[in-house]
A and B are shown apart, each in its own frame.
Chain A
């Protein structure tokens, strides 16, 4: 089964409903749900032969796990004394709450294996996050390579579990490139900004230097992606066509 934009909207609405909480919504920004990640995840899961209820739970819970991780990335590194606000405290708790929800939803359908899959992915993602955050990253490309690995880990675990052949390197490269395109224009709340991370690692790096590096990486990644897209199997033809058209559109915009 192929994925439609109606599926994506419906899943997104379900996730948003699950994470609704009156007090949290009052103080913290609505978490950003990565449409591109959701699309790839839905493509992978829709193609599997699990029951419809499982499909729905897998998509919602995997995205909840991702949202939990993303929410924790928005907690500032330093508390800044009295300026440590209620919003920052709630970001910590919101992430924990979303993690609890994914476990709860999967426990309701007794899917211990998928709980294990998500937990393993989260464990590995935090290893990479620590690597990115604690080591001195050399070039911008080094940072991008680690981010690619981090971005596709959850999808890769899910794909392997379901025996799906979606190429992880395409997923990782596209997710990072897409974020980079957005962040060179305007960093979004709810995301760990590439520029922030890079600038924390390399004190001499300026914002404009980041943008020029980022643009070069985007160009190169799009060029590589045009080739890599061919690796997406025939079973995911619609997604392959979608990605082709998005890449063409970006290249067209850049050329103008």
Chain B
């Protein structure tokens, strides 16, 4: 089953979000318009808008307000992706050429800045202080997280805490913020909105851990990038951290990456085989499951309704994700 089936009944509202997304990024300059809509056309799960809408339905649902927040969050995410491709010198995203590869880095920089500006223009029509304080804090934290990620590259001495903090900033914060903002703009009490934030945070952590597992256990076709690509880029994820507890693996890893630019496909294959032979994947799934249980617990005391049940179903779906 596809995740979209779980929230199929939101189709109409999500279509309106999609329409707004498309309208908001219609730049005057043809190249800017083309690059801004490029990512949108490539699709994506729109998981942040889904969380905003569902969280909104936990309160006094006002589609217009919820839509503005959903659009802003997806645009912020998109702006980050465009700039991330410059950072990673990536030529493909979701199987499509990146903006930086279609044009160049500078065009990608202008596009990302334009999209972020449009996101802020949109969200400022919501005159609610707690909305902006949370979102602004999240944007800064996400940037700091990305800087930390570069700092931690090829650092074999980092620990679980480093990793968890990094994925919190990389993924969990924006999902948590999506959930809380959806609740806040729908008039939920701050305490209830905080529970949604917790839900989003735990879901985000679990989701990213599974993503990091799949980087080793999926195929190149499923991933749309080489298997083990995160490690190849120097990002030490949870399966690697667990596998490194084995001295032989650690030694092989350090030897392989003695000169990162010389690592070839065969080297990576050897590492992946060795990692899969260990209990690293299993233990990573266990930690992901702990976060999922916490996510479910976070919303357990909220009033029972369709939106809450959908949030629970999404959590369960994410836990079963294997590709």
Contacts and interface: CB of A to CB of B under 8 A. Distances in A.
A241 B87 CA distance: 46
Contacts of B137: 104, 107
B136 A104 contact: yes
A131 B29 CA distance: 7
23 contacts: A21-B147, A69-B113, A72-B109, A73-B106, A78-B104, A89-B87, A93-B83, A93-B87, A96-B146, A99-B139, A104-B136, A104-B139, A112-B124, A119-B117, A119-B118, A119-B120, A123-B118, A123-B121, A126-B32, A126-B114, A130-B110, A131-B29, A134-B107
Interface of A: 21, 23-24, 68-69, 72-73, 75-79, 82, 84, 86, 89-90, 92-97, 99-101, 103-104, 106-108, 110, 112-113, 115-116, 118-120, 122-123, 126-127, 129-131, 133-134
Contacts, number: 141
B135 interface: yes
A75 B140 contact: no
A96 B89 contact: no
A36 B109 CA distance: 25
Given A99-B116, A126-B113, A92 B83 contact: yes
B134 to A, nearest CB: 9
A119 B32 CA distance: 16
B46 interface: no
A31 to B, nearest CB: 15
Given A93-B147, A103-B139, A127-B27, A108 B105 contact: no
B261 interface: yes
Interface string B165-179: 000000000000000
A78 B108 CA distance: 11
A97 B144 contact: yes
B274 interface: no
Contact of B146 (A79, A93, A99, A122): A93
Given A68-B113, A76-B105, 16 more contacts: A23-B147, A23-B151, A72-B109, A75-B109, A77-B106, A92-B87, A93-B87, A97-B147, A104-B137, A107-B129, A107-B136, A112-B127, A119-B118, A119-B124, A122-B117, A127-B114
Interface string B76-108: 000010010011010000000000100011110
A156 to B, nearest CB: 16
B295 to A, nearest CB: 26
Nearest to B141: A100
A17 to B, nearest CB: 15
Contacts of B147: 21, 23-24, 90, 93-94, 97
Contact of B29 (A107, A116, A130): A130
Contacts of A69: 113
Contacts of A99: 113, 116, 139
Contacts of A93: 83, 87, 143, 146-147, 150
Contact of A127 (B32, B89, B135, B143): B32
A122 B127 contact: no
Contacts of A68: 113
B255 to A, nearest CB: 21
